[in-house]
Structure 1
Amino acid sequence: MKLIFLIFAMAVAAMGPSRDGSLPETGADRDSVPQRNPARLPPISAQDDATENAPAEQLRIMDAASAEPADFLWNARPVVVFADTPGDPAFVEQVEALRRDARQLVDRDVVVITDSDPSAASIWRQDLRPRGFSLVLIDKDGQVKIRRPSPWDVREIGRAIDRLPLRRQEIGRGRPLR
């Protein structure tokens, strides 16, 4: 008997509100309200498109001497780019690639650390011990995740970050991409 009453109550609830409510809008009222149909929307101007696609934040590129690893713990993913000289072609190519596709990195909370002076013996160089050109990806937990001896495409850096457990948790929580 209780089961029949429960089914009846669910059926009544599924019917929706009673007929005592207001009447639906007429066709004239509906046309005065802007619709979300893309075919009916006016074209987006170039200015609107530029502001919509502009990154909310700029990619942070810092010198190794001015950055400490502890500053980024649980806040950002450092991508450390090492070279023996600032004119190293691989170093220049990597930094330019990171600047060119900055949006993908900003969305993944990346901070770029550059170190092209071995004589300065920065804390990054002491901890990571690179030889010549090197790209090192460190996750938010402070663990080294990837080392590369040659320049790497930003798209592949983004894919590698997206496979990290902490990034998967961020995505799983529904953290909005900027």
Structure 2
Amino acid sequence: MSLEQTLRDSRWKKRVLLVAAPTAEQADFKSQKALLAANKAELAERDFLLMEVLYDQLSAADKEFLLKKIGVQPSQFAAVLIGKDGGVKQKSRRPIAPADLFGTVDKMPMRQQEMRRK
């Protein structure tokens, strides 16, 4: 399934954290994965879908989608938070600390509603 289709299918169901890098061996990619691995429960609580994207495994269409729609350069590390509405909420060229990620999400109106319901 294409990157665009996966994101479309996640809309209104999941928040997506897109973690992209040239290869799986890239230092920031490994660092971001390690930071997130220690916070699986918090990710699940906030309805996260973690998408690991390696540029060397992407189709030309997916690379173009990343560049034009998400604004990610296919030669650099990127961590991109995409809200349930499909909009880009946070973008970084460095790994995002889980506390920063969760802080951003917890301020969102939709997340506030979810917390009130629980």
TM-score bracket, shorter-length normalisation: 0.7 to 0.9
The partner residue of 2:19 within 81, 84, 89 is 81
CA displacement, residues 84-117 of structure 1 (integer Å, 9 cap, x when unaligned): 1110000011011111111111110011001112
2:66 — aligned with what? 125
Going from structure 1 to structure 2, the CA distance change for 1:99 and 1:117 (only over 3 Å counts) comes to: same
User: How do residues 163-174 of structure 1 correspond to structure 2 at under 5 angstroms?
Assistant: 163-171=107-115, 174=116
Q: Does the CA-based 8 Å contact 1:64-1:114 persist in structure 2?
A: no
1:155 aligns to 2:99 (yes or no)? yes
Query: 1:170 is paired with a residue of what secondary structure?
Result: helix
Matches within 5 A, 1:24-173: 68-118=6-56, 120-121=58-59, 122=62, 125-126=66-67, 127-131=69-73, 132-171=76-115
TM-score (norm 2): 0.83
Please report the RMSD computed on the Cα atoms of aligned residues, expressed in angstroms: 2.3
Q: Residues 151 and 64 (structure 1 numbering): CA distance in 2 closer, same or farther, change over 3 Å?
A: farther
Q: Letter of the 1:102 partner, please give it.
A: K
Are the equivalent residues in 2 in contact too, given 1:97–1:153 (CA < 8 A)?
A: yes
Contact kept, 8 Å, 1:82 with 1:91, in 2: the verdict is yes
Higher relative contact order (CA 8 A, sep 6+): 2
Question: Which one has the bigger strand percentage?
Answer: 2
1:119 offset after TM fit, Å? 5.6
* Structure 1: gaps (5+ residues): 1-62
